[in-house]
Amino acid sequence: MANSWRGDRLPDIVRSMASRPRHEALRGLITELLREGFGAAFSELEHERYLVDNSGRIDVAWGATVIELKSDLRREERDVLARMPHYLADASRGSAPGRTTVGLATDGATLLAYALDRGTLAPIGRYDVDVEHPEQLLSWLEPLLSPVPEVMPTPIAVALAFGRYSLAFGRAHAELQRLWSEVGENPEVRLKRNLWDGLLRQVYGDDVGSDALFLQHTYLTILVKAIAARVLDLEIGDPAEMLSGRLLANEGIVGAVEADFFDWPLLARGGDDLVRSLAAETVRFRLRDVKVDVLKSLYESLIDPDERHDLGEYYTPDWLAARVVAAAISRPLEQRVLDPSCGSGTFLFHALRRLIEAGREARLPPAEIVAICADRVFGIDVHPVAVALARVTWLLALGDLVQDRPPTLTVPVYMGDSMQWSLRPLGASAEVLVDVPPNDPPLRIPAGLASDHNLFERALDELNRGLDTLAEPEAIRDAIARAGATAEDAAMLGRTFAQLKQLYLDGRNHIWTFILRNLLRPVWLSHPDHRADVLIGNPPWIVYRHLSADMKDRLREALRSYNLWVGGSLATHQDMFALFWARGAERYLRDGGTLALVLPYAALNAPVFAGMRDGSMERVRVAITGGWGLERVWPIFGAKSGTSTTSTCVLFGRRDRDGLPPAEVDRWVGILPRRDASDAEAADALAHMLAPWPRARTLISASPYRRRFRQGPPFSPRRFFFVEYAASGRLQSRREAPRVRGRVGNLDKDPWTAVAPPEGPVERAFIRPIALGESIAPYRLLTLATGVVPMQEGEILTSVTADAHGHRGLSAWLRDAEAKWDEYSNKKVDGAPRASLAQGTNHLQKLTAQAERMPIRVLYTKSGTRLSACWIEDDGAFIDQQAHWAAANSIEEAAYVAAVLNSQIVLDRVRDLQPVGQRDPRHFSNLVWTLPIPGFDAAEALHADLAAAALRAAEVAARVLLPDAAHFTAKRRIIREALVADGVAETIERLVDALLPP
C-alpha cells in the first residue's frame, strides 16, 4: 500500500464515510478501501452476490468477509441482525478450512463485526470512524482482512487490535462466556473467582467484582502472558506451560508469569484452543521495539471508564511518568525504586529505561545492567490484572537486553497489599491475615518470618512438600523450626498448614502458594534493610464518600493514626491517596528518601490535606520539597465524552525532614494533541514556569449569605424528569393532563442513554418550569426547562402515593421510571443498594427545601468560566443542581447580590481557588462566600447604589436581542458586551471594588 495513498486519499475516504453517504457512494469507498488499503484484486471482489437459495444479496464479498451496506445503522441494526446470519452461513460454505467467516455491517460512520458461533450470530467488534485519525480504521480492520506481521506496537495499534471493540476481543469474549457456563461452578474455579473479588474489595472497599469483569480480566491476562512469551520468541505449544509460567521459568525468568486466578479456561472443553488463538494474535507485533507502556492503553480500552473511575484508576501518560522519573531518580544505578501502586507498570518502565541508559553510559556489561534492574526497580499492586500487566511491562522495558540476562532473572513485581490492611498486632510481634472466601477462618502468617525472604521461601517449600505427602501439622511445624523459624512462628505456621491441608482435601488448593508468596511481599519490602530510596507512582484516588462503610472505618482510623483525619464537612473529601503518602513513606522509604507521587491538584491547596503540607503529620516526618501544578495541562487523564476530569499535580517530598512547602510551584501549561501524546509532542506543546504556591482553599464562611444559599436537587436520570410535549393524535391531549415524554439529550449518562424515557399523560400540577445552570445569564433569565416534579405540599410522591392521592397519570409515569431505576441503577452506597428514585431526587432535602413558595430568589451558576447571576420572580419554578439559590427579602437585595456575583472582581478573587477542568477553572459552588460579602442593608448608600445599578443592568439585559439558535454561553457573552457598551458594567465594578477591600 503506497504511503501517498494513506496520506493523500485515506483522510478523504474516512471523512466521506463519516457523513453516512448514499448506498452507491459508500460501495465505492469500501471498494477503494479494500483495494488500496488491503490489496484486494478487482477480480476477487464480488458485488451484489446472490445467496445460494436466492433469498437475498450480499452487497460486497471478499474472501471470507461479507459486507452489508446500510444508510443509518442507528435505525437499521435490527435488520442487520435478521439478515447477517444468512449471509454468513452462505459465505462459510466456500471459505477456507479453519478460517472464520466474518460479517461487516456499515453505514460508513460505524462498522459492526459479526461471526457465527454454533449457528448463533455473535457481535465481535464495533468501530466508530474518527476523521481526526483515519489510520485507525485500517488498524481496526487489519486483523480481520489482512494480518500483517511486524507491526510497531504503539498504544493505539495494540488497543485497536485487542481492545473492547476489537475483533480479537469479540471472538474471545463469546468463547469465554461459553467456557464459564461450563466450569464456572467448579469449586477450584469458584475459589479463584472469589479470591480475585476479595483482593479488589480489599483495596477498593466495595463489591466491585462481577462475572463480566472476571472474564475481561481473564482475556487480558492470557493475552499479556502470551506477549511475555513473544518477547523471548518462545513457541507456545502447551497452553498450561504458558499460563503457569513454566515456559519462561525454563528460560531462567522467574516472576514474570505465574499460575494465578485466570488459568481456569484450561479446565473446560476448548479452553486450550482459545489460549492458542489469542497467543497467535500477538505474533504480528515487534514487541522488543516498544517505547512506552503500551499495556495500559490495552487495559483502558477494555475496562469501562466508569468502572475505572470507581476503582480510582487514573493511569499516568508516559510523557508525565518519564518526567517524574527524571526529576525523582538522580542516581539510577544506586537508588532502589518502589512504586507501591504500580498499575500496568508505567513508572517501572521509565525507571528501568533511565537505569539502562545510565548503565550503558557507564559501559557496564549488559548482563550486569539487567541484574541491577532486578535489584533496584520494584513494583506492588493488589490488582491481579495490573500485576500481570506490570510484570510484562517490566520485561518489555529491557528491550534487546533481555537476550543478555543473567542465568536467573527474577522480575520484582508483586501482587500485594502495599497499605498492609491485613497486618494485625500479635503480642510483641505481628501477623498477616490472608482471607479465605467465602467464610473460612483467615490464614495466619508471622510478619517477622515473612520479612525474611530466604526463611519465608524455605517455609513455603515445607508447606508445599507437606501438601504433596499429606503430612501431619506437627511434622511441618518441626520442619519449619529446623529451617530457622522461632518456636512461636513455627507453631503458627503449623496451624496454618492444617488449614491448607483441609483446603487441599476440599479441592481448593491450587492457588495458595501464589497467594502467600505475593501478598506477603509488602512485609518483606517494608523491612528496614529492603526499603527504597525513591517512592514513586500514581496511587489510587478514591474519595472517602465513595467507599463502603467498612472501608470508611478503616481509612478513617488509619488517617487518624497519622493526624491526617479532618472531620466535619471535610470528612467526605478525604482520599485514599493521603494514606499512600503517609504509610508509603513510613513503611517503604529509607531515612532521607524521596517521594514523587502524581496526585489530584487538591493536594496542593485543599484544607482537607493541610496535614500533608504543614508538617503536622505524625508517626513519620515528610517535608514537601516541590510541586508541579498541572491544572493548565489538558488532557492528562481520560474522560468520558461530555465530562471533565480531576485536575492534577505532582508532589515531591523527603522523609525525615521538617519544613513548610516552598513558596513556588512549577506550573506547566499547554494543550496536548491527545492524551497519549509522545514525549516529543509534549515537549512541543508544554511550557512551564515558576508561580506562587497555590493559595490554600478554605471553607470558612466570611459572608452571611453562605448559610442562605442552597444547591438545587439532582433531577437524575434527566430523561425521567425533563420532558417535552408529545405529539397528540386526533383526540388531542387533555388540558388537565397533557401528554409528555422524557427529553433525550447529550447530557444523558450511561446506563440511561440506552433506557427508553417514560411517556404518557401527567397532571398539569406536576409539570413545572425548572431553572438550569444554562438558564442563568447576567441579570437575565434565559429559557427554562419543562419537567415532571413529583412533589405535593412538601411530600415527594412515589407511584404508590401518587395513586393514593388520585394522580393516575403521575402514578403511571413514576411506575415506569421506578421500574427502570431499580433495573439499571446498580451502584451501591455504603455497601447497601442505592437509594430509591424518590430518595435520590430529594438528596439532602434539596427538592423539599423548595416546597415553600418564595416570590423572589437569587440564582447563580454552579460552574463555568464566568460566574453568572440573576433573580427569578416565578414562585412556581424549581431550581436544578447546576445552580445555587436563596430567597431574597426584596428586589433590591436580589439586585445587590446579583451585582456582586456578576462582577469581574469577585471572579478574579476566587479563580485561583477553583478546581480546574479539562481546560479552564470550573465549579464556583460556595467559594464566593469565602469573600467578606456583607448582607444587604438598604440604609447603606453603597448597597443601595449597587442595587440601583443592578436594576439598570437588568433593564439593559432585557432589551438585548438574542438569537434563538445561539448557545447559552454565546447569549451570556452578548449580554455582557451590551452591559459594557452601556457603561453600567464599569459602574458596578467600581462599586464592588469599594464594597470588597483588597
Q: Convert the pLDDT of each residue in 752-784 to its tens digit.
A: 888 899 999 999 999 999 999 999 999 999 999
CA-wise closest residue to 893 among 955, 954, 957, 944:
944
Co-location of 283 and 226 in the same domain? yes
Give the model's pLDDT for residue 640.
33
Q: How far apart are CA 832 and CA 818, in angstroms?
A: 18
Residue 698 confidence class, pLDDT cut points 50, 70, 90? low
Query: Would residue 602 count as lying in a domain?
Result: yes
Higher pLDDT, 306 or 266: 266
Query: Would residue 70 count as lying in a domain?
Result: yes
Return the SS3 of 663.
coil
CA-wise closest residue to 263 among 168, 341, 196, 171:
196
| pLDDT greater than 80 at residue 201 | no
For residues 303-311, average pLDDT: 50
* Residue at grid coordinates 491538584: 601
277: phi > 0 → left, psi -120 to 50 → alpha, else beta; which? alpha
* Residue at grid coordinates 418550569: 769
Co-location of 228 and 357 in the same domain? yes
The C-alpha cell at 151 is 507491526
Give residue 456's domain range: 423-525
Domains held by the chain: number = 6
The C-alpha cell at 282 is 500477538
Higher pLDDT, 361 or 922: 361
The answer to whether 796 and 843 have CB atoms below 8 angstroms apart is no
Co-location of 484 and 387 in the same domain? no
Share of the chain above pLDDT 70, in %: 86
Give the model's pLDDT for residue 304.
54
Co-location of 227 and 376 in the same domain? yes
| pLDDT greater than 90 at residue 562 | yes
Q: Is 770 exposed, middle or buried (0-12, 13-18, 19+ CB in 10 A)?
A: buried
The C-alpha cell at 448 is 517477622
The C-alpha cell at 139 is 488498524
Query: Would residue 504 count as lying in a domain?
Result: yes
Higher pLDDT, 117 or 359: 359
Q: How far apart are CA 370 and CA 56, in angstroms?
A: 62
What length does the chain have? 998
Q: Tell which of 395, 415, 435 closes a domain.
A: 415
Residues in Cβ contact with 727 at an 8 Å cutoff, skipping those fewer than 6 apart: none
What pairing do the DSSP bridges indicate for beta strands 377-381 and 337-339? Answer: parallel
Number of helices (H) and strands (E) in the chain: give both, helices first. 39, 36
Query: Would residue 35 count as lying in a domain?
Result: yes
Higher pLDDT, 930 or 19: 19
For residues 951-973, average pLDDT: 94
Co-location of 871 and 752 in the same domain? no
Co-location of 258 and 369 in the same domain? yes
| pLDDT greater than 90 at residue 741 | yes
Give the model's pLDDT for residue 205.
52
Q: Tell which of 133, 148, 163 closes a domain.
A: 148
Alpha helices, H only, 589-696:
602-605, 610-613, 679-685
Return the SS3 of 553.
helix
CATH number of domain containing 102: 3.90.1570
What pairing do the DSSP bridges indicate for beta strands 253-254 and 409-410? Answer: parallel
Query: Would residue 660 count as lying in a domain?
Result: yes
> CA 542, 544, 549 angle in degrees (round to 5)?
115
**SS3 assignment for 253-311:** EECCCCCCCCCHHHHCCCHHHHHHHHHHHHHHECHHHCCCCHHHHHHHHHCCHHHHHHC
CA-wise closest residue to 907 among 950, 866, 861, 863:
866
Co-location of 550 and 683 in the same domain? yes
Q: Tell which of 636, 666, 694 closes a domain.
A: 694
The answer to whether 122 and 11 have CB atoms below 8 angstroms apart is no
> CA 124, 127, 129 angle in degrees (round to 5)?
165
> CA 399, 402, 405 angle in degrees (round to 5)?
145
Co-location of 195 and 215 in the same domain? yes
Distance, CA of 37 to chain centre: 34
Co-location of 830 and 867 in the same domain? no
Q: In what order do the strands lie in the sheet with 110-117?
A: 45-50, 57-62, 65-69, 102-106, 110-117, 120-128
Average pLDDT, the chain: 84
Q: Please tell me the pTM assigned to this model.
A: 0.68
Residue 742 confidence class, pLDDT cut points 50, 70, 90? very high
Query: Would residue 675 count as lying in a domain?
Result: yes
Give the model's pLDDT for residue 919.
47
Give the model's pLDDT for residue 729.
53
Give the model's pLDDT for residue 169.
83
Co-location of 261 and 333 in the same domain? yes
- In this predicted structure, which of 316-325, 837-846, 901-910 has the lowest mean pLDDT? 837-846
| Relative orientation angle of helices 473-482 and 487-505, to the nearest 10 degrees | 140
Residue 684 confidence class, pLDDT cut points 50, 70, 90? very high
Co-location of 860 and 775 in the same domain? yes
Peptide bond into 635 cis (omega under 30): yes
Co-location of 451 and 543 in the same domain? no
- pLDDT tens-place string over residues 794-810: 999 999 999 999 999 99
Q: How far apart are CA 153 and CA 293, in angstroms?
A: 10
- pLDDT tens-place string over residues 602-648: 899 888 899 999 989 999 999 999 999 987 787 787 543 333 346 78
